Amino acid sequence: MEKLRLHAPSKKPFHKTSIAFILLFVLLTTFIFLTVYPNDFWLQSLVTGGCEPRRTRFSHFVDPVALPPPEPPLRILVGVLTVPSTYERRHLLRNAYFLQPNLTANAHVDVRFFLCNLTSDEQRVLVALEVMRYGDIVVLDCEENMNEGKTYAYFSSLPALFEETPYDYALKADDDTYIRLDEMALTLERMPREDLYLGLFIPCKNITDRMGWMTGMAYALSWDLVEWISRSEIPRKHRAIQPYGEDVVLASWLRDASRGKNRFDMNPKMYDYYEEPTPCYSHEFIPETIAVHKLKTNLKWAKTLEYFNATAGLKPSELYRI
């Protein structure tokens, strides 16, 4: 019955009210103190940290004030260019990228899907669901069926889209390409941060050929080149050059502007899924793979993901037999 009495209306309202006022005063004072002088605590912890030996990230100390872990120095955007209607492929790609083993490279990698304008009521609902669930979709101002100029729309939009948090490198990738993010990040980690153009070069193994280009399976540009594409007349006036593919056209922009001098050919670490011999760009899987291309069927995805141990971490359970 003690408890019930507490809730009963007070017979001495004045007395109860003064206690409430005192409590409120104490709370307010504490609140004001913490609001006005929070840095005292923070600074103190910094100063203390400064006098002690530097703590490594593996330290077992619990910091008095938990600061967020420092952002990795290298930031990479993987832009997968795809069309609105391929919901199932995006689902597979999300699984494939999300389940990759942790990065050993000290890098922050974002995988995003880039679509052109949505054109049907179905897309407006189903793509909206993906945005709400995954937040990894970017809709560019372009027409999906025009078949020319999406590469320009993609690269030229990036600086404005990511003005606050620019990347060091932006990749453009196909949705039938499996990129091993860690291998890619480890490769880029030791590369120049500027004027970089990296991928699988055609003509094969002849990086000195001025007329060559990186194939569209996936290639990386350093952010200064991305910014250049967004402001230069050369790409803007030559978004498409018939009958060439967009990736050949991109190489021509760089050539005309004498840019992309840091060219790196990733052959044989980037290749097409092996079906039949080609001059030089398809072969069996190799452990040091950066990217496998032409994964046009679920079976090819399955074989690729199996080789790279994507399901090795599957936990045994009564719930399934696999």
DSSP state, residue 287: T
Strands 270-272 and 291-293: what pairing? parallel
Distance CA 77, CA 276 (A): 32
Site membership for ligand NAG, residue 95 (CB under 6 A): no
Which one among 13, 50, 279, 287 touches ligand NAG, defined by CB under 6 A? 287
Radius of gyration of the chain (CA): 27
In degrees and rounded to multiples of 5, residue 52 shows phi and psi of -90, 165
In the range 134-173, which residues lie near ligand NAG by CB under 6 A? 141-143
Closest CA to 123 of 83, 74, 72: 83
Using the minimum distance from each CB to ligand NAG, give the nearer residue, 110 or 143. 143
Closest distance of CB 289 from ligand NAG, Å: 7
Strands 74-81 and 169-173: what pairing? parallel
Closest distance of CB 237 from ligand NAG, Å: 17
- In one-letter notation, the amino acid at residue 220 is A
Q: What is the torsional sign of CA 148, 152, 155, 157? A: negative
Site membership for ligand NAG, residue 288 (CB under 6 A): no
- Binding track, positions 303-322, relative to ligand NAG; x by CB under 6 A: -----xx--xx---------
Closest distance of CB 101 from ligand NAG, Å: 4
Using the minimum distance from each CB to ligand NAG, give the nearer residue, 243 or 287. 287
Asked whether the beta carbons of 144 and 216 are under 8 A apart, the reply is no
Distance of CA 292 to the CA centre of its chain: 18
Site membership for ligand NAG, residue 276 (CB under 6 A): no
DSSP state, residue 53: P
Using the minimum distance from each CB to ligand NAG, give the nearer residue, 117 or 278. 117
End-to-end Cα distance, the chain = 59
Site membership for ligand NAG, residue 209 (CB under 6 A): yes
Using the minimum distance from each CB to ligand NAG, give the nearer residue, 169 or 308. 308
Site membership for ligand NAG, residue 39 (CB under 6 A): no
Closest distance of CB 6 from ligand NAG, Å: 46
Asked whether the beta carbons of 272 and 293 are under 8 A apart, the reply is yes
In degrees and rounded to multiples of 5, residue 222 shows phi and psi of -70, 155
- Find the part of the chain contacting ligand NAG (CB under 6 A) among 154-162, 201-209, 251-259, 269-277: 201-209
Closest distance of CB 14 from ligand NAG, Å: 58
**Contact residues: ligand NAG, CB under 6 A:** 101-102, 117, 141-143, 203, 206, 208-209, 287, 308-309, 312-313
